[in-house]
Amino acid sequence: MNAHSAFCSTGVLGSPRLLAGLNTPADTVDFAMHERVHGPLARFGSRANLERVLLDSGLRGRGGAGFPLGRKIASLAKRRNPVVVVNASEGEPLSRKDVVLLGRVPHLVIDGAIAVADAIDASEVVIYLHEGRPETVEAVRAALAERRGDLVPVRIVEGPARYVAGEASAAISFISGGEALPTKKPPQPTDRGVRGRPTVLSNAETFAHTALIVRHGAPWFRSVGVESDPGTVLLTVTDGTTHVVIEAPTGTPLSEVVARAGGSFERAAAVLLGGYAGTWATPEQCASLTLDRNALSASGLALGVGQIALLPSDACYLSETARISDWLAGQTAGQCGPCVHGLPDIAAGMRDIATRPTTTKAAETVWRWADQVDGRGACAHPGGVSRLVRSALALSPEHLLHHQRGLCRASRAAFPIPVEFAAVQH
């Protein structure tokens, strides 16, 4: 099996919504089964109703930033022939939730996109995948072939297997026939997206929830989870080698999610929340956290694309941060000065801190650089690196001191650096 296979284990806390119908790790919910489990696709009826129901549901985007989908629909320019884009490029190396959705319950994602496209009278739905995951592309193709009489045409676009290619404006540029490079904002995709048309681009999971909201309504959606971010959420729990995708209501303690995946915070050296552009937390800290986006960000943490990565006890989070930031620096789209020049310096500084004795000056310099690049680029990529690096430097003053004295002996590389995401050539 490929490392990115959809056939990783799944688990559910509470009643399954997105993962309903899956029992064994090899299950795929085909169209007949999908309609048996969820019933036929309903329609929002009108754009106004779509907006109202989504706003009432409180559904927030599952692609990282947590922006409410209802507000995105409300800001969609009212011109003809808008486009719906399902962002299923899942560039986060440790994330498997979108691969599980597309590979195993693809009809839910397609239904959600079609329900939105139908309500806004869109000319097409584009499912944006990347060529590094051919088995997912195959699964979506097979799912589309099973369907009959869809209200809006659906096509697949395979972007390049690069991290930044999953950024919204990069995806739109590629789908429009250009390169998969971010463009400056404004314009926002909701104003000028695919080939200049108003575009609703959201993460695959966001559309999957929409498929259930159109069937069961906003009150049903809100019946589980926290008020500020209702519903269930998919999380990839991983130690860097094995991955388990868990569906749980927001508000669930992180420890329950990890336990359901067969893991525990106690054995972890540190925990990376939210992916490679996420934040480090201590296992002790995690023991009291819940799946609550607002509460997490109030404590300086990020859930990002829904990832809990447990660092094995014989690995070191500073070394991991050095390797990850080096990889992230190589993923720059090469367009913006602070990103092109700053990220490699940050990565080199982190490598020094992780691998040889340094003075506190070295850490202060990396911190200053992380502050400087944050928010300065055409896309949010530099901010992701800042977040990761600052959280690593702040995690444990004792362990940082250990490194400064050259005393850390952990040398194992635990989290993978994806090979198919080759560094971009400039």
Partner 1 sequence: MAPQLHLVVDWIRCRGHGICAELAPEAIVLDDWGFPMVKAAVPHDGERDAQRACDACPSSALTLVEVDVPVSPKR
**Which residues bind to ligand FMN, rule: CB under 6 A?**
61-65, 67, 87, 89-91, 163-164, 166-168, 201-203, 206, 379-381
Q: Would you say 36 or 184 has its CB closer to partner 1?
A: 184
Q: Hey, how many other C-beta atoms are within 10 angstroms of the C-beta on 401?
A: 12
- Residue 150 CB, shortest distance to ligand FMN, in Å, is 21
Q: According to the binding rule CB under 8 A, does residue 383 interact with partner 1?
A: no
Distance CA 377, CA 382 (A): 7
For ligand SF4, give the closer residue by CB, 236 or 332. 332
At 408, list the tokens. Answer: 């850390």
DSSP string, 169-210: HHHHHHHTTS-S----SSSPTTTS-GGGS-EEEEEHHHHHHH
**Distance, CA of 376 to CA of 179 (rounded, Å):** 21
* Candidate residues 159, 377, 384, 418; the one interacting with partner 1 per rule CB under 8 A: 377
Contact between 191 and partner 1 (CB under 8 A)?
no
The residues in 372-401 that bind ligand SF4, with binding defined as CB under 6 A, are 377-379, 381-382
Compare residues 193 and 342 and give the one whose CB is closer to partner 1.
342
Is residue 351 involved in binding partner 1 (CB under 8 A)? Answer: no
Which listed range, 146-154, 226-234, 279-287, 333-341, lies at the site for partner 1 (CB under 8 A)? 333-341
Contact partner at residue 369 from ligand SF4, partner 1, ligand FMN, none, CB < 5 to 8 Å by partner kind: partner 1
Query: Considering CB under 6 A, how many residues would be counted as binding ligand SF4?
Result: 14
**Shortest spacing between CB 376 and partner 1, in angstroms:** 7
Which 8-state DSSP code applies to residue 235? E
Distance CA 66, CA 225 (A): 15
CA 174, 28, 292, 216 dihedral sign is positive
Residue 372 interacting partner from ligand FMN, partner 1, ligand SF4, none (CB closer than 5 to 8 Å by kind): partner 1
- 94 near ligand SF4, judged by CB under 6 A: no
Residue 401 is encoded by which pair of tokens?
């001191």
For residue 145, give both structure tokens.
């072939």
Structure tokens at 343: 């990220």
**Beta carbons of 278 and 272 less than 8 angstroms apart:** yes
The tokens for 72 are 């995105």
Contact (CB, 8 A) for 313 and 269:
yes
From candidates 204, 310, 339, 370, binder to ligand SF4 by CB under 6 A:
339
Q: What per-residue string of b and e applies to 286-303 under the rule 16 or more CB within 10 Å gives b?
A: bbebebbbebbeeeebbb
Which of 188, 282, 335, 396 is in the footprint of ligand SF4 by CB under 6 A? 335
Interface residues toward partner 1, by CB under 8 A = 183-184, 335-339, 341-342, 345, 368-369, 372-373, 376-378
